């Protein structure tokens, strides 16, 4: 099952490739490390859930001028997945979309992330268990789970997620890391640093959305780097001091090309910060972020690397292979 009908910025790149190049990308072992569960629901499943609930299909794709507008898309999706059953169904469909078509463009390995939500039907821990039940239907070498903390959460909620994640890891569940995500300017970063460190001390890895907007301050970025995280999401607006730390510590960066272009945080591929990492041979992972609103897939993201300019970055096949290898090496141990 393809995750979503494609129409995003990578589609032109994919369509410009020769059959031989497409086949090369299909069989290339691709590792997806930055995909948000509720952002990757297949449209078909969302439509079914909306029909069953008797509500209109949520608006999930619209042109954005400001990245903040993006977060308004999610409450309508959340309203459709408040029960463990709906959540399991959605998770299963998302995993199938990424993993089941291995010889036809799918991912060899996936770290799927999601923000545990409390509803009248389940606690945050039960949310994680429902997602983990689906994740654990696959072999260990195909998929693992990351629990996200949303920047709009208070300390009590963030701590509840970290403590539940630690417990689940101790129980042998396939949870590998914590993530900090959500509305880019919200929240008390000092508090999140404190809470995420607790998780790290208990053996969970940490990845953080960092400097995704030009409005994220250098002070905030340095605080997040002090955790220290094992990987970084986006890392679009790092200043020189932060770049020096990231390069020195060789912290892998999760690169989401379509997401950055659609959210308008990067103006063009030409201007994308991936270029500096490619030039430096720095570890990166090519990721989709949210296939539902961005209408992309791991294939279209890799097509953006291979396609000729101006549709893509015009890397050679061996350069693309090297990038895919870096992503595989950036997996969190499970
Ligand atoms: C920051 C993002 C994001 O967790 O409910 N999310 N946070 N930047 C992004 N890039 C544009 N894309 C998605 O999946 C949806 C949630 O992931 C976060 C947002 O908090 C969004 O509500 P889950 O499964």
> CB atoms < 10 A from the CB of 157, how many?
16
Q: Is 127 in the pocket of ligand 1 (CB under 6 A)?
A: no
Q: Which long-range contacts (CB under 8 A, 24 or more apart) does 272-275 make?
A: 273/235, 273/236, 273/238, 274/313, 275/313
Domains identified in the chain and CATH numbers: 9-329 (3.20.20.140)
284-286 and 253-255 strand pairing: parallel
pLDDT value, residue 308: 96
Per-residue pLDDT for 5 more than 70?
no
Tokens of 153: 């959460």
Q: Of 119, 146, 116, 139, which Cα lies nearest the Cα of 128?
A: 116
Out of 96, 160, 212, 220, pick the active-site residue: 212
Q: Is 205 in the pocket of ligand 1 (CB under 6 A)?
A: no
* Residues 217-267 pLDDT 10s: 999 999 999 999 999 999 999 999 999 999 999 999 999 999 999 888 999
SS3 string, 247-272, reads HHCCCCEEECHHHHHHCCCCCCCCCC
Instruction: Write down the mean pLDDT value for the chain.
Output: 94
Q: Whose Cα sits closest to atom 11 in ligand 1? A: 259
Q: What is the ipTM of this complex?
A: 0.99
Tokens of 68: 């903040």
Q: Whose Cα sits closest to atom 18 in ligand 1? A: 182
Per-residue pLDDT for 282 more than 60?
yes
φ, ψ (nearest 5 deg) of residue 238: -80, 135
In the chain, what percentage of residues exceed pLDDT 90? 87
Active site residue 212: yes
Would the pTM of this model clear 0.90, i.e. be above it? yes
């Amino acid at each position: 099952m393809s995750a979503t009908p494609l129409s995003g910025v990578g589609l032109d790149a994919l369509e410009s490739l020769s059959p031989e190049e497409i086949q090369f990308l299909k069989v290339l072992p691709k590792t997806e490390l930055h995909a948000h569960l509720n952002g990757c629901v297949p449209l078909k499943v969302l439509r079914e859930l909306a029909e069953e609930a008797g509500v209109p299909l949520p608006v999930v794709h619209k042109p954005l001028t400001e990245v903040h507008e993006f977060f308004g898309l999610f409450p309508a999706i959340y309203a459709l997945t408040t029960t463990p059953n709906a959540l399991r169904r959605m998770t299963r469909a998302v995993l199938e979309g990424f993993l089941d078509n291995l010889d036809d463009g799918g991912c060899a390995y996936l770290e799927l992330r999601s923000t545990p939500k409390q509803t009248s039907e389940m606690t945050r821990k039960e949310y994680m268990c429902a997602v983990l039940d689906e994740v654990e239907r696959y072999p260990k070498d195909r998929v693992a789970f990351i629990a996200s903390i949303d920047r709009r959460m208070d300390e009590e909620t963030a701590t509840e997620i970290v403590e539940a994640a630690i417990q689940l890891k101790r129980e042998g569940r396939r949870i590998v890391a914590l993530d900090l995500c959500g509305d880019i300017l919200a929240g008390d970063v000092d508090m999140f640093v404190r809470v995420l460190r607790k998780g790290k001390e208990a053996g969970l890895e940490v990845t953080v959305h960092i400097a995704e907007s030009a409005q994220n301050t250098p002070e905030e970025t340095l605080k997040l780097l002090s955790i220290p995280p094992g990987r970084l999401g986006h890392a679009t607006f790092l200043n020189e001091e932060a770049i020096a730390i990231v390069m020195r510590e060789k912290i892998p960066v999760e690169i989401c090309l379509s997401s950055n272009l659609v959210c308008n945080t990067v103006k063009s591929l030409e201007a994308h910060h991936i270029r500096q990492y490619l030039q430096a041979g720095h570890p990166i992972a090519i990721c989709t972020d949210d296939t539902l609103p961005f209408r992309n897939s791991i294939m279209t993201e890799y097509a953006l690397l291979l396609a000729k300019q101006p549709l893509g970055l015009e890397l050679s096949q061996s350069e693309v292979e090297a990038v895919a290898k870096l992503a595989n090496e950036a997996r969190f141990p499970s």
